[in-house]
Structure formats: structure tokens, C-alpha cells
Amino acid sequence: MNFSKLFQVIITILIIFIVIDIVMLLALTFFNLKTSTTYLILRFDLLVSSLTFLIFLISLKNSKDKKTFLKENWILILAAFPIIFIFWGLKGLYIATFIMPAFNLVKIYSMVRTISKIGSKFLKFSKETGLGYGIIIVTSVFFLGSIAFFFVESGVNPNLHGFEDALWYMMVSMTTTGYGDIVPVTGIGKIIGSIAMLTGVGFASYATASVASMIFQQLRKERDKETEQLKKLSKTYRGERKADDEEIKELLRDILQRMDEKDKKEF
């Protein structure tokens, strides 16, 4: 796999992480989460910010007109700046609670713009593998399923203590891990869990098939390229051999001609 393909894979992974980060920051903005969950989200946001900055540096290095690139993609710098992590670390949880939603929304806006900026490479990769449709479906099921599960199970499920528990349940269900620490008690909750499990299993198979298809296509292209090179070499070799044969024939004719002339003189 060449660097271009590898870069497309990295872009795809980054977009998946950005979408997950957006969902977590929305949960952090509109729901009261545990302190431990908040710190987990902040660390994940720091990871996504670091990956975004890495992609920004690679793209900047490969761009021919760096000034134009900076002018058109400055939003990547804002998305890569871990403002939320730094703000929480400096001000603490209590003070940050009052003005943090504004920073969250700015961060979310910058990440959405980042997806639109780097989306062309993702769309190219998605077009080749079809993986983008699966990512959209899985993300939608995860986010909407978490909200729905929280509202239908809240107050009636003794194991559900907050929205992060709903997120955890959807994650466990979609990965088919099944820890059993949170179990739905309502009929709608069980339906949501079933959809989550089927979606997770389906996406795993779909993603494996898509990536395998991409690898086979790349191998087929490389094989066709090598076959074409062998054909060119074979054609060149036949041409050179034909030229050598003609030269040998010409030498033989010349030798025979001289021998005939010599015989005639002797006669």
C-alpha cells in the first residue's frame, strides 16, 4: 500500500474519531456527566486534536502553495487546538461549567468544518470501499440510540445513573461485548439493544469486506502494472532480437558473397 492509500486510511480514521468526539462534546454540553467521564472525554478530545494537527502538518508539507493552503485551511488549526482540555486543566471543573458550553460549540463547529475540508480524501476512499455509508449508519445508530435508551430507561432502570451509562450501554451492545452491567428493562430498550447489536455485527463484516476489497483492488492494479511492464520488456527484447537476427543474416550474406567472389576468381 503506497503513501497515498495509507494517508486516505488515516484520514478516514481521523474523521471517525472526529465524529465520535463531536458526539461526546455534545453530550458534555447538554448533559450532566460524571467527573470521571468528563476527564475521559477531554483526553479523547486531546487525542483527536493531536491527530488533526498531524494531518495538518502533513498536508501543509505536501502543498505547493503553503500560503494559500494556510488561508484556505486555517480552521484545521482551530480544530487541532485542544482549547477544551487546556481550559478545564487551568480553570478546573467548577468554574468551567458556566462558560464551557460556548467553547464546546466553537470546538464542534471547527471540527465540522474540518470534516468538510478533508472530506474529499475521505469521499475518495469511501467511493472505493463504500465504507462511508457504514460509518454514517453506525454513528447515527450510536448517537440516536444512546439518547433514546437514556429517555426510555431513565428512572425505571436501576443500573442507569446518567447519560454516560446510556453511551456505555450502546458501545457495549454495538461491539457485542455484553458485560451485563447495564441491562434494558423496558421493551423499547430491548429493541434499541437489538438494533445496536445487529448494526455492530453488520458493520464489522461490512468494514472487513470493504477493506479487503480495497487491498485486492490495489494488488490487482500492481499486478496489471507489472504485466504491462513485462509486455513492454518482451516487445523490446523481441525487437532487439529481430535486429540482431537481421544483422547476423546480413553478415552471413556478406560472407557467402565474398566466398562466391573468391571461388569465381580462383576458377
| pLDDT by residue, tens only, the chain of 267 residues | 455 656 666 777 777 788 878 877 877 777 777 777 777 788 888 888 888 888 888 888 888 888 888 888 888 888 888 777 777 665 554 444 556 677 778 888 888 888 777 766 555 555 556 666 677 778 788 888 888 898 898 889 888 887 878 888 888 888 888 778 888 988 998 999 899 999 888 888 877 777 677 677 777 777 777 777 777 777 776 766 666 666 777 777 777 677 666 666 655
Spans of all domains in the chain: 1-123
Domain 1-123 has CATH 1.20.120: yes
Yes or no: say if 169 and 205 are a contact pair by the CB < 8 Å rule.
no
Yes or no: say if 169 and 178 are a contact pair by the CB < 8 Å rule.
no
In the prediction, which pLDDT does 191 show?
92
For 232-249, the DSSP string reads HHHHHHHHHHHHHHHHHH
CB atoms within 10 A of CB 83: 16
Q: Among 111, 47, 46, 43, which Cα is nearest to 79's?
A: 111
